[in-house]
């Protein structure tokens, strides 16, 4: 199997909570590490035995128990915010990998239950300890490889995480361009930069004649 196809097939066996328990920053990074033989197949507590069996069969490996150094398998929970205590600091929004929390600065926040993977990454940054994990009401229509994670939910979590990472990349790039421009302004002065840009535009125009 080609490396990219292998990574994709491995990623399909990860429940996409993006919880980091496997010691990788997101499910896809763990999939890459398994494909490159840098990580074992039993490091995903949310995926548990289902994931291990799936990966063992996919990769022609022998199944083994979950390595509990990375955590224990437990039923999926979802986050709930006590809105009467929330101070609107947005720390949880920054931590949430799937954009499952809505709110704005100094406004109470709330969790969109459908988008919450139960990763628990919002718990620790909350300065007023107003986020609790509660049992997920069992969805009766889940009859897939896992009891707790439906195909739709894993797909959505994968897509939302990618979208968030892309947004963050763009923000970082914009930040670094703004920083470079600031440094350039300091070094050359704004007038010289304008002259340099005008000269560059002129060069491009002449080239296309």
Instruction: Count Cβ atoms below 10 Å from residue 201 Cβ, excluding itself.
Output: 10
Exactly one of 10, 13, 17, 55 binds ligand SF4 (CB under 6 A); that residue is 17
Residue 10, interface with ligand SF4 (CB under 6 A)?
no
CA distance readout (Å), 24 to 29, 31, 33, 39, 134: 6, 9, 9, 10, 25
In this complex, which beta carbon is closest to ligand SF4, that of residue 137 or of residue 186? 137
Distance CA 30, CA 33 (A): 5
Residue 91, interface with ligand SF4 (CB under 6 A)?
yes
Residue 20, interface with ligand SF4 (CB under 6 A)?
yes
Residue 66, interface with ligand SF4 (CB under 6 A)?
no
Instruction: Write out 90-116 in H/E/C secondary structure.
Output: CHHHHHCCCCCEECCCCCCCEECHHHC
Compute how many residues bind ligand SF4; rule: CB under 6 A: 45
Exactly one of 33, 35, 96, 153 binds ligand SF4 (CB under 6 A); that residue is 96
Distance CA 105, CA 86 (A): 11
Positions in 120-149 near ligand SF4 (CB under 6 A): 120-122, 125-126, 128, 130-131
53 touches 145 (CB < 8 A):
no
Residue 117, interface with ligand SF4 (CB under 6 A)?
yes
Residue 32, interface with ligand SF4 (CB under 6 A)?
no
Instruction: Count Cβ atoms below 10 Å from residue 41 Cβ, excluding itself.
Output: 24
Which neighbouring-strand residues pair with 81? 131
Residue 22, interface with ligand SF4 (CB under 6 A)?
yes
Interacting residues toward ligand SF4 by CB under 6 A: 14-15, 17-22, 24, 26-27, 30, 44-47, 79, 81, 86-92, 95-96, 98, 100-101, 103, 109, 111, 116-122, 125-126, 128, 130-131
């Amino acid at each position: 199997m080609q490396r990219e196809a292998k990574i994709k097939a491995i990623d399909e066996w990860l429940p996409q909570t993006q919880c980091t328990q496997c010691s990788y920053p997101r499910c896809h990074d763990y999939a890459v590490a398994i494909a490159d033989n840098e990580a074992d197949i039993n490091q995903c507590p949310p995926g548990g035995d289902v994931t291990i069996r799936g990966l063992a069969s996919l990769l022609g490996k022998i199944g083994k128990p979950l390595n509990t150094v990375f955590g224990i398998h437990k039923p999926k929970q979802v986050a709930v915010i006590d809105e009467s205590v929330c101070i609107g600091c947005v720390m949880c929004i920054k931590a949430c990998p799937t954009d499952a929390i809505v709110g704005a600065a100094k406004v109470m926040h709330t969790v969109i239950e459908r988008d919450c993977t139960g990763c628990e990454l919002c718990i620790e940054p909350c300065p007023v300890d107003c986020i609790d994990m509660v049992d997920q009401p069992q969805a009766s229509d889940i009859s897939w490889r896992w009891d707790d994670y439906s195909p739709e939910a894993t797909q959505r979590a994968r897509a939302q995480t990618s979208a968030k990472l892309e947004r963050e990349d763009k923000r970082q790039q914009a930040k670094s361009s703004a920083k470079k421009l600031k440094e350039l302004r300091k070094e050359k002065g704004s007038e010289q930069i304008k002259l340099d840009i005008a000269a560059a535009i002129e060069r491009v125009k002449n080239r296309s004649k």
